[in-house]
């Protein structure tokens, strides 16, 4: 395009003329002379860039005096931010976005998986702290997991001399299916080999064990009933949604 216009180089005067013509077309009736006066007036203006101020001054001397008078005591203080993240792409790497305690830094590193040695900003200058690795995350997760209340404790065993032991037939608990899930899974895993011969003359706390088993069975039954009700409600909702989608398709493509 420049070659067709007469050459590959343009003069400054030609560029100014094009700019002036474009302004006249965009704003009819605009006085370019007045516009240039306004531009020259504000070219020398200095603006305070302090957050929330944005005041304008005639020259840099007035701006410097304004900063000393208005913003000298309002400087940002980040002395409480002692720890920063080691990841270069993390916004917590800045001192102003740091952490007050080492525990906060470690929780952030484990949550965001920003492994490495954090930085401590003390009186002697920045220095690294103990590194955090993925093994620390696994340890923290293992400590945070609560113990499951549905785990059944192994039944008490009674050891007697071989002369007094008698074989006992497997109970009803030992023949339950092995693939059962839920709180009864630990009970169903009992096999005939795990049973210990018990002397009939020794009284074991069977009523208490039966009470624990019955309570767990009731909990499982209640959970299954709630799941069945929820499944039925979802089935009804799916049927209703399919009917509504079919009605919308019919109205869309037949109109």
For 51, other C-beta atoms within 10 Å of its C-beta total 9
**229-242 pLDDT per residue, tens:** 889 989 999 999 99
d(CA 62, CA 166): 105
d(CA 65, CA 51): 17
What band does 134 get if pLDDT is binned at 50, 70 and 90? confident
Find the angle CA(85)-CA(88)-CA(90) to the nearest 5 degrees.
60
Query: Does the pLDDT at position 4 exceed 70?
Result: yes
At 75 the pLDDT is: 61
d(CA 47, CA 63): 7
d(CA 84, CA 128): 10
At 174 the pLDDT is: 42
Query: Contact, 116 vs 131, CB < 8 A?
Result: yes
pTM of the entire structure?
0.32
149 phi, psi to nearest 5 deg: -75, -10
């Amino acid at each position: 395009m420049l070659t067709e216009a007469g050459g590959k180089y343009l003069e400054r005067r030609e560029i100014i003329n094009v700019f002036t013509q474009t302004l006249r077309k965009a704003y009819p009736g605009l006085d370019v002379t007045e516009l240039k006066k306004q531009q020259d007036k504000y070219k020398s203006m200095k603006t305070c860039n302090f957050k929330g101020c944005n005041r304008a001054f005639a020259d840099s001397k007035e701006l410097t005096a304004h900063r000393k008078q208005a913003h000298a005591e309002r400087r940002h203080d980040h002395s409480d931010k002692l720890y920063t993240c080691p990841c270069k792409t993390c916004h917590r790497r800045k001192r102003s976005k740091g952490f007050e305690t080492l525990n906060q830094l470690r929780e952030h590193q484990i949550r965001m998986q920003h492994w490495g040695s954090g930085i401590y900003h003390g009186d002697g200058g920045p220095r690294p702290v103990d590194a955090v690795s993925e093994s620390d995350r696994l340890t923290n997760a293992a400590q945070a997991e609560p113990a499951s209340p549905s785990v059944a404790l192994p039944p008490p065993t009674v050891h007697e001399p071989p002369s007094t032991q008698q074989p006992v037939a497997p109970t009803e608990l030992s023949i339950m299916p092995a693939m059962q899930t839920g709180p009864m899974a630990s009970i169903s895993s009992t096999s005939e080999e795990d049973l210990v011969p018990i002397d009939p003359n020794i009284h074991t706390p069977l009523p208490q064990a039966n009470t624990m088993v019955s309570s767990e069975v009731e909990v499982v039954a209640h959970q299954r009933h709630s799941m069945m009700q929820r499944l039925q409600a979802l089935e009804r909702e799916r049927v209703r949604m399919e009917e509504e989608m079919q009605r919308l398709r019919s109205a869309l493509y037949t109109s």
